[in-house]
Chains A and B, each alone.
Chain A
Amino acid sequence: MKAKSAVGKEGANFKISRKGRYKLIWMRYKRNKLAMLGLIVLAAMLLAILTAPLYLDYNRAITQNISAAFTGPGQDGYLFGTDQFGRDLLARVIYGGRISLGAGLATVAISFVGGVILGGVSGYFGGKIDNIIMRICDMLMAIPGTMLAMAIVAALGAGLDKLLISLAIVTIPGNARTVRAAIMNLRNAEFIEAARCYGTRNARIIFVHLLPNILGPLIVTTFMSLGTIILCIASMGYLGIGVQAPTPEWGSIISENQSNIRYFPYLGTIPGLFIMISVLSLSFIGDGLRDALDPKMKN
């Protein structure tokens, strides 16, 4: 907004100062060792998962090869060993991560957009529309998330896309509330009033003036919720709801091996550790981001 009212030269200055701000945030973030560790681990994990087709054949994850069943980790070229059907556990975990992490990221993206739109409208306009949106959110939040997601999947039918829709419906209300609360705090700020005096359209005020100011806390809550969503996807995979066999998913890998984990512990340890480490990294990153974006909040 400052940039808009300023003439060309000052506009350029504003750009530099914005760059400086990101640099400052990054410097503060870098100081937090756990947050850096989380970022590196998660980035490595995402890279391994995204480039999987380049170095790992998907067939190794789904083709049964009974003669190689229960090969221990590190033997016969199977880094993580094989399961009861002789399928390569490394391939299953890596390709499973595409569902677990990928679906998690997609859900977060959908619920971020949905939460911003609903919460933004609700907080900015207030009144009747706010009341309606918030009552619907209250209603959806009255049921444990996993159960609601299960009920929606049951109504819609199985499949990855339906899983995404159900998880988005479960997570949007929480995001909408965060956005709404933040916007209500700012709604009557002087710079918003100034923008209104200019005759700026409502959509522009929401997206250009209000949103950038609440982006910090919003990103932090989004990162924090990603961990919960990954756990939720794993739980549903474990119960066999959502993604269908033989497509691997971290939770379903654990459930299909459950009866063998006692004798071949690696079958449970490895996929479980993947879930735990990714969620743990996300909470380190979330903590680091929160402190970096708002040093006042640190305790």
Chain B
Amino acid sequence: MLKYTIKRVLMLIPTIIGITLFIYLIMSLVPGDPAELLSPPEATAAEVQALRVEMGLDKPILVQYLNYMWDILHGDFGVSWFTQQPVADEILHRMPYTLTLGVYSTIIASLISIPLGTLTAVKHNTWIDYVLTFLCLVFAAMPNFWLGIILQINLSLNTGWLPAYGMGTPAHYVLPVIAVCASSVANNIRSTRTWVLDVIRSDYVRTARAKGASEFVVIMKHALRNALLPIITGFGSSFAGVLGGSVVIETVFAIPGISTYLTSAVKTRDMPIIMGSILVISVFVGVVNLLVDLMYSVIDPRVKYE
């Protein structure tokens, strides 16, 4: 188990190297460089060149990349091209908002969608199943920022029940969490339904019913327990989905998280910020997927790691 964990953690490293190298290489393909972008229009060619040397942009792209990674290893994510603020500090300040939003959304999504998904499977082909399935399709088709704006106007601006913007109190999380997790709840209900339906038709569930077990015991102990493994796998990938969804939602609700940082940096092409944010996000997604993998053996003792 420990060996497996260490192996998985080590496997994150090539992923991170690959992603950062990939973005670095694309950047080098594009004409025009940041030194020209950052110099005032009246700057002479010599001044631009001086800035280029100062930023280390005169070196070959691979050398630049190695320097960047070397700094990362020392906890230095570089400084923003425009504000000269250290990227690492900013990410440290912003990370908690994005992570809490992501973790709350994933947990609440599971709490809602496992019971409802099981319900739709148990009530297969009844009106409950049809209504819930249709609602799921509608919510999955809804752009999450649109849902966010609708919630913001109706539950906050027009009624004053909940805060509309920013972060601070727990009440600030209510609307963003709903907007972020709506589509993953919808998708997870559908996948839970499929998996539970699969199990409900199996022989051992029929046996359990035949020996006279109550319907509740059959569903909770025999069906759901066995369907849980693929369901949990789905939630691991939905954490990545939730983080992706938070990109827009943070802008809608003006949350000072990583995603708003990334969004504003994309508009100004502030590369150190983009690289830093993507790097941190991919580490978190990797760690969550690892945790999901490790949970397998808790849920299903048959799973063994080498």
Contacts and interface: CB of A to CB of B under 8 A. Distances in A.
B18 A136 contact: yes
B72 interface: no
B175 interface: no
Interface size class, chain A = 35 or more
Given A240-B267, A258-B149, A262-B158, A147 B26 contact: no
A72 to B, nearest CB: 18
B163 to A, nearest CB: 16
A275 B146 contact: yes
Overall SS of chain B's interface: helix
Interface stretch (B56-64, B166-174, B239-247): B239-247
B45 interface: no
B294 interface: no
Overall SS of chain A's interface: helix
B26 A279 contact: no
Contacts of B259: 147
A144 B240 contact: yes
A298 B279 CA distance: 41
A268 interface: yes
A239 B143 contact: no
Contacts of A255: 145
B138 A139 contact: no
A30 to B, nearest CB: 20
Contacts of B241: 144
Contact of B286 (A140, A142, A153, A262): A142
B194 A299 contact: yes
A168 to B, nearest CB: 13
A182 to B, nearest CB: 19
Contact of B149 (A142, A147, A268): A268
A261 B149 contact: yes
Interface residues of B, number: 49
A275 B143 contact: yes
B255 interface: no
Contact of B23 (A135, A138, A155, A277): A155
Contacts of A299: 194, 197-198
A86 interface: no
Contact of A254 (B26, B140, B149, B269): B149
A148 interface: yes
Interface stretch (A88-96, A215-223, A230-238): A230-238
Contacts of B158: 262
B266 A153 contact: yes
Interface of A: 135-136, 138-140, 142-148, 150-157, 227, 231, 234-235, 238-241, 251, 254-255, 258, 261-262, 265, 268, 272, 275-277, 279-280, 283-284, 299
Given A150-B262, A152-B23, A276-B141, 7 more contacts: A142-B19, A144-B285, A155-B274, A157-B30, A157-B269, A234-B145, A276-B138
10 contacts: A142-B286, A146-B247, A147-B278, A151-B278, A155-B26, A231-B143, A261-B153, A262-B158, A272-B143, A299-B194
